Structure 1
Amino acid sequence: MTLPLDDIRVIEIDSWMAAPSAAAILSDLGADVIKIEPLTGDPMRNTTRPAKVEGAFKGYDFQFDVDNRGKRSIAVDLGSDTGRDIVHRLCESADVFLCNLLQRRQEKFGLAPEQLFATNSKLVHATLTGYGTDGPEAWRPGYDVTAFFGRSGLYDSMRDGAEGQVPMARPAQGDHTTGLALVSGILAALRLAERTGKGQVIETSLFETAAWTLATDYGITAVDQAPVRRRSRQQQIVATANRYPCADGNWVVFNMPEASAWPRFCAALGLDHLLDDDRLQDIKGRFDNMAELVETVDAALAAKPRDDWGPIFDEHRLIWGPVLGLHEVTADPQAEAIGLFPTIEHDEHGEYRTVRAPMRIRDVDISPQHSSPRVGEHTRSVLASAGFDDAMVDRLVADGHVAEQ
């Protein structure tokens, strides 16, 4: 089967989750992704919680696997001139160079755009940073909790009410969102490089990608400079666009801001008497009495567990969603129908499930090509494809310039 990027080679020098997630998607799309790691490996390896499984996969690093599936790994010492020369040699036949190194480190290791263009003038050079490559804080390292959620205003805007505590994101939410932004930029840059015959520089950051996710708010705030209004459940503008608990402690969320949804909402919950309440005849009246209204809706939903309410909501044409636990999503029939959790065949351990990239092309199987590599697993084969014979690789290993498994 032809994959969209099966003629593209990517050289990747990065770590942790954001930039690696972009390279994983490129691999899913068919690209040959060569991950260049330090001799000790990407520091992300084996730093996250292990899956609660027994048998062959006990202790396997599934979280690292998500962002590194389908790649080949070569371990290189970038601190040596020989190591840097190896990277340049690999870039000669590459289409994309992808990294998350700050500018000063790119320049130190000979990996800045102009330095690599001297090796390959048609290369797409892609960089993902915390705060961008310009400005007074281009030097600052950033993780998604600091640059994506904190600095962008996202955490502050998500507080529950004016005095609510700052929430905490789940691992790599901002990383993976920014990885998608980097993928889209790389695809556009590849097209431009093809048309012009010239190398391209693509950049994105956690900070600016987060701002884009908040663009609906920033469309106003960038104009009036006013702080965003943080609303608790009792302060929501519309009762039919709020979240509520059910009898079993599970929650549901509704999003029906239009006034015409109010009668259907009341009918579904057995609250038809609210239609005759003079205080609740329009959106303003319902907003003025929101605290009492939330209490009334909570009491009504407490009559049944979440899964019993679902058919009733559907019957009344409500736009709603269950607030599922992650473990519930992996068993969701809708997730199964769209192939959200495909399987990967590990060459030693067998099959396991993972999550696919959030895109589909009809009649094209965009799925993980294989499991993540061991550190330096492909050092010898990658160097062989670049013209290094076994004796040369043996010397490089003996001298500590590269490592292999």
Structure 2
Amino acid sequence: MTGTNGPLSGIKVVELAQWVFVPSAAAILAELGADVIRIEHPKHGDPYHALTTAGAANSAGALSARSAQANRGKRSIGIDLGAPGGRDVAYSLIREADVFMTSLRVGALVKHGMSQQDLAEINPRLVYARGDAFGPAGADSDKPGYDITAFWARGGVGELVTEPDAPQLARQPPSFGDRIASVGLAAGVMASLLGLERGCEPQPVGASLIGAAAWVTASEIVSGGPAKGPGQRVAMPPLTGSYRCADGKWIMLNLMQSERFWDDFCKCIGAPELRSDERFFNVQGRDGNGAELRLELEAVLGRCTRDEWSAALADFDGPWAPVQDVSELASDPQMEANGFVCPVEGSDMRLVRSPFTVGVPQRILPRGPELGEHTEELLLESGCSWDQIVRLKDAGVIT
């Protein structure tokens, strides 16, 4: 388990969830010290374990790096909730829990006796947290959805980053919306726990993929959207945006305060002629002649490679960055200095820690559990005898 001295040490979380969204939220809580117990089907496990895009075609109990990323620091128990006695085994864990987290749809939760009302009857102090695709209200509230459909497609994120004349929608990176939404769900759980600490009644927590999409596109929503009309986009200012370098790689500029940075920028890129050009002499000229300025910058920045520009701009105090691919990001000196990607105990894996720190961040992350790895340990903790455990195993209720 992770961080037994963390701020959530002593908090017990029972997770009944699959794939990435809710498990990633629970992984954040585990990293902060919570004891997170995963309930998985004893034979099938979480289908994310065996997702072929995560590497080799794993078995249900095998652990891919992507599965470990969402489940590190947890304990796993295999329970067949549909088998006689399976629900009671789960209840024995939930009675002692502080938080229940799930991604199951309402119908499945009712079927297995895991609705908010069901669990409130056995544990009135339980924080009930659910992540879904489309929010808890409305006609589509219980429709199935993944981040690529609820966040990227219906949530408008994919359209927002796709050029108007593109032959198809821009590709979403794997689990992109899931991990964004997971931070909100984890924050909601922590807020509800804080309310309990201060004497409030337990407040249910919800987060959705489409809600996360609205949050990340809020600037466009509140300003009426980025488009001037069908198929049209507002052009980026010339000092904000990407420029292709001589080696085909890119740099990104974001010099919104152009009056502050213009002179130094021209010096750093070796273009005094732009600094003295009357078309670009002040901010009004640079804005009014934006198309011309962009062409000039394309010509200048196309003369050198990305790394050459990185060296030339190293001491420039304006906001810019080299455009990196993910493999470059993983070895970026800033990533190394801050420990954003960490080795995993007893493994050659490297996983990404939570996107914030509380106290001193961990430099080594725990591994994810194998399917049902902690079944016996957890049942003994909940008061089961060895004889009861053997009977449950023989009946196929647990693994």
User: Within 5 Å, which residues of 2 pair with 1:183-262?
Assistant: 183-196=186-199, 198-221=201-224, 231=233, 235-236=235-236, 238-260=237-259, 261-262=261-262
User: Within 5 Å, which residues of 2 pair with 1:154-169?
Assistant: 154-160=157-163, 162-164=164-166, 165-169=168-172
Q: Secondary structure at the match of 1:254?
A: strand
Structure 1 residue 96 corresponds to structure 2 residue 96: no
Work out the CA distance in 1 between the residues paired with 2:228 and 2:97. Answer: 47
How many residues end up aligned between the 2 structures?
Answer: 388
Work out the CA distance in 1 between the residues paired with 2:91 and 2:245. Answer: 59
Contact 1:157 1:228 in 2 (8 A): no
Work out the CA distance in 1 between the residues paired with 2:35 and 2:365. Answer: 10
Contact 1:117 1:199 in 2 (8 A): no
Q: Which residue of 2 aligns with 1:329?
A: 329
Q: Which residue of 2 aligns with 1:384?
A: 380
Query: AA paired with 2:10?
Result: D
User: Within 5 Å, which residues of 2 pair with 1:394-405?
Assistant: 394-403=390-399
Deviations 1:291-332 (A, max 9, x none): 443333222122221112123223343311111111111211
* 1:356 pairs with one of 353, 358, 362: 353
Runs of 4+ more than 6 Å apart: 224-229
Give the C-alpha shift of residue 283 in structure 1.
4.7
User: Within 5 Å, which residues of 2 pair with 1:340-355?
Assistant: 340-346=340-346, 350-355=347-352
Q: Secondary structure at the match of 1:216?
A: helix
Q: Which residue of 1 aligns with 2:59?
A: none
Give the C-alpha shift of residue 23 in structure 1.
0.7
Q: Which residue of 2 aligns with 1:55?
A: none
Work out the CA distance in 1 between the residues paired with 2:307 and 2:326. Answer: 16
Structure-1-length-normalised TM-score: 0.89
Give the C-alpha shift of residue 373 in structure 1.
0.9
Gaps of 5+ in 1: 53-58
More displaced, 271-280 or 85-94? 271-280
Give the C-alpha shift of residue 51 in structure 1.
5.6
Gaps of 5+ in 2: 57-61
Deviations 1:192-238 (A, max 9, x none): 1222363321111011111111112222228x998698648xx32x2
Contact 2:63 2:368 in 1 (8 A): no
Percent sequence identity over matched residues? 34
Contact 1:22 1:183 in 2 (8 A): yes
User: Within 5 Å, which residues of 2 pair with 1:255-294?
Assistant: 255-260=254-259, 261-283=261-283, 285-287=285-287, 289-294=289-294
**Aligned-CA RMSD value:** 2.4
Deviations 1:260-302 (A, max 9, x none): 1333333322332233444434555545544443333222122
Work out the CA distance in 2 between the residues paired with 1:141 and 1:50. Answer: 22
Contact 1:69 1:371 in 2 (8 A): yes
Q: Which residue of 2 aligns with 1:318?
A: 318
More displaced, 26-35 or 79-88? 79-88
Structure-2-length-normalised TM-score: 0.90
* 1:373 pairs with one of 369, 373, 393: 369
